Chains A and B, each alone.
Chain A
Amino acid sequence: MTQLVWNGLFVGSFYALVALGYSMVYGIIKLLNFAHGDLYMLGAFVGFAILGAVGGVSPSMALPLLLVVLLATMVVTGLAGVALERIAYRPLRRAPRLSLLITAVGASFALEYGMRAVAGADPQVYPVRLGGTAMEVLGARLTLQQLVLMGVAVVLMIALNLLVTRTREGRAMRAIALDPRTSALMGINVNSVISRTFFVGSALAGAAGVMAGAYYGKIDFMMGFLIGLKAFTAAVIGGIGNIPGTMLGGLLLGLLESFGTYWLGGEWRDVFAFGVLILFLTVRPTGLLGERVTERV
Chain B
Amino acid sequence: MSLLSVEDLRLSFGGLAAIDGLSFSVDEAEIVSVIGPNGAGKTSAFNCVTGFYRPTSGRITLRDKNLLGLRPSAVAGLGVARTFQNLRLFGELSVLDNVRAGSHLWLRQSVLDALLHTPRYRRSERECTEQAHHWLDFVGLRGDRYGAARNLPYGEQRRTEIARALARRPDLLLLDEPAAGLNHGEKEEMLDLIRRIQGLGVAIVLIEHDMGLVMEVSERVVVLNFGKEIADGRPEDVRENPAVIEAYLGSDAHA
Contact = CB atoms under 8 A, between A and B. Distances in A.
**Do A and B touch (CB < 8 Å)?**
yes
A297 B47 CA distance: 8
A60 interface: no
B84 A297 contact: yes
Contacts of B84: 297
A294 interface: yes
Contacts of B47: 297
B53 interface: yes
A203 to B, nearest CB: 34
Contacts of A297: 43, 47, 52-53, 84
Interface string B29-60: 00000000000000100010000110000000
A41 B29 CA distance: 65
Nearest to B54: A294
A297 B11 CA distance: 15
A182 to B, nearest CB: 15
B84 to A, nearest CB: 7
Interface in A225-272: none
Interface in B1-21: 13
A294 B55 CA distance: 12
Interface residues of B, number: 6
Contacts of B13: 294
B116 to A, nearest CB: 31
B51 to A, nearest CB: 10
A246 to B, nearest CB: 22
Interface residues of A, number: 2
Interface string A269-297: 00000000000000000000000001001
A294 B13 CA distance: 8
Nearest to B43: A297
A181 to B, nearest CB: 14
A297 B43 CA distance: 9
A294 B52 CA distance: 10
Nearest to B176: A297
A297 B176 CA distance: 12
B127 to A, nearest CB: 31
A297 B53 CA distance: 9
Contacts of B43: 297
A75 B13 CA distance: 42
A219 to B, nearest CB: 44
A294 B56 CA distance: 13
B11 to A, nearest CB: 10
Interface string B51-84: 0110000000000000000000000000000001
A297 B83 CA distance: 11
B137 to A, nearest CB: 29
Contacts of A294: 13, 53
B12 to A, nearest CB: 10
B175 to A, nearest CB: 15
B47 to A, nearest CB: 5
A297 B52 CA distance: 8
A136 B84 CA distance: 65
Nearest to A295: B52
A17 to B, nearest CB: 31
Contacts of B52: 297
Nearest to B92: A96
A294 B84 CA distance: 17
B90 to A, nearest CB: 13
A135 B13 CA distance: 53
A294 B53 CA distance: 8
A297 B84 CA distance: 8
Nearest to B46: A297
A102 to B, nearest CB: 16
A269 B84 CA distance: 47
B171 to A, nearest CB: 22
A294 B11 CA distance: 12
A160 to B, nearest CB: 27
Interface string B73-110: 00000000000100000000000000000000000000
B81 to A, nearest CB: 15
B245 to A, nearest CB: 30
A142 B228 CA distance: 63
A297 B13 CA distance: 14
7 contacts: A294-B13, A294-B53, A297-B43, A297-B47, A297-B52, A297-B53, A297-B84
Interface of A: 294, 297
Interface of B: 13, 43, 47, 52-53, 84
Across the A-B interface, the 5 shortest Cβ-Cβ residue pairs: A297-B52, A297-B47, A294-B13, A297-B84, A294-B53
